[in-house]
Structure 1
Amino acid sequence: MFYLEAHDIVKQYGDYTALNGVTLEVPRGCVYGLLGPNGAGKSSLIRIINRITAPDNGHVLINGKPSTGEDIFNIGYLPEERGLYKKMKVGEHIIFLARLKGLSKDDAKERMLYWLQKFDIASWENKKVEELSKGMQQKIQFIATVIHEPDLFILDEPFSGFDPVNAELLKNEILELKAKGKTIILSTHNMESVEELCDEITLINKSKVVLQGNVKDIRARYRKHIFKLQVVGDNFNVESSHFAVLSQATEKGIVEVRIQRNDEASNSDLIQEVASKYEILSFEEELPTMNDIFIQIVSKPAE
């Protein structure tokens, strides 16, 4: 069952069309990537899902029912534009935001202490927000996003401002939320994170959906039949109509080769031909990265 559905969403600002018939269906309990270049329409869609703005056409369903104002209490939204009050103390700030999401003061404080301890930052409770680094403030904003334990999370560029250690910490938290059955929409330009975290994606470009589906299936769909193999020898010299050699490098009697198979040939043809001359140590297909696919699609000229 889909937890979130957006059907034929249109949003215009004067003569500018931000979203033009955008449809997506987000399964329950998955990490769903919302991708696109700057100005593609992602932020407009996120604001509509959060009921910050309304669509000019189309509708949003949550749990199979039309979205209502009550649904915002079951959404955890981490916006790209950070919004903490710099003069407030960290603990007071988290409790304040938790109360806005419907928690009692006692529950808000209990959960605030839990998250500060979990992130090993309990000593920050009485510090003012302005005393914290950008990455530290990001942690506080993440805590405010999850503290009311919603079923749907919308994370807009959540890794911005994080060093590699804290980015890994956040990735693990996202996977933990998924393991608990939560639904996460992840909007990011970090394609490596998309490959690591996302089950499915929608790519929006110039207000329209241009790619949609399972991440593994998409990478397989855009494969170029390039393979990387290692063979025993001092060089690689095979004349073949089945493939072309793209590159090779030799080190300590092992040749690492990249080859591109012709569409007419099979993998078995390729392996048999190489194995007739060399001992094969490894053989693997080189699938395109999501970054490669992103650039390829958004760089296409408009139809």
Structure 2
Amino acid sequence: MNVRHLIPTAAVAGAVVLGLTALSACSTSDAADRRPGDKLNVVASFYPMQFLAEEIGGTHVSVSTLTKPGVEPHDLELSPRQIGGLGDADYILYLKGIQPAVDDAIKLSESTHSVDAAKLTTLEDHGTETGGDEHGHEHEGEGAGADPHIWLDPVKYAEVAKGVGASLEKTDPGHAADYRKNTDALVKKLDTLNTAYKTGLRNTATKTFITTHSAFGYLAERYGLVQEGIAGIDPEAEPSPARIQEIHTIAEKSKATTVFFETLASDKTAKTVATDTGLRTDVLDPLEGITDKSKGDNYFEVMQSNLAALQKALGAK
């Protein structure tokens, strides 16, 4: 996980106080006090949470996101207005562990309507932030701990969707039947996506793929693949000559063909490693945001694009 430019807790605390003070004159909206026809005011931390809220909430919710398109989520800096707006939200959906600024702001705001998606499934410690290599080795710059990139595994994302649906039913019981129906439809689509990945990646010439941003640990584990991260937590960090040589060796032994980079970060590292190792480059999108550079307009379209890229890189048969 990229942890560049994190905001000190003290700074976030100060911004929370300013934000909440600035908006203290506004009445806090509450789901129980909303008038008939009013939409549930939902705040999502970043795109994977926004997508769930919109798909499950449907016409009954108005969703805003703290992370605008094109902004690297890990680098997010919250304005006092954004932080203060948390107090006006009927429902906040976030994923603890991926955006420290958001985690701190929600904790200090003491919101009673926040849902942490990390608690709706089981997070795993892959040995490194993203699972390391097939031997469990940690690579330079990587930190141990639970991997937050659960949305890249359709099965885990479906578990989160079910939890979000149940919590929306509780928050807005008047529309519980619709939330349940939308949840079921989304889970069915995620089950279909899981089947597509399982089938499409079953027979491949190699199981190893190389990434600059090691975000695909859950996906690799789900489908029997091996993820090799170049520089660990920072997709734009310069790999050492030793690491480049190690990647070269791994690529030769595993018959890996491609170095993947992402849409919201520079491709400099990927191109450097690819040039030095004789590999190709391609995009594997961690789906932390949708922009005009994304290979798809929503979660499912980008995940299908990722599947096609993996099949090509891994030599799917």
TM score, norm. by length of structure 1: 0.24
- Bigger Rg, structure 1 or 2: 1
TM score, norm. by length of structure 2: 0.24
Q: Which has the higher helix share?
A: 2
Q: Which has the higher strand share?
A: 1
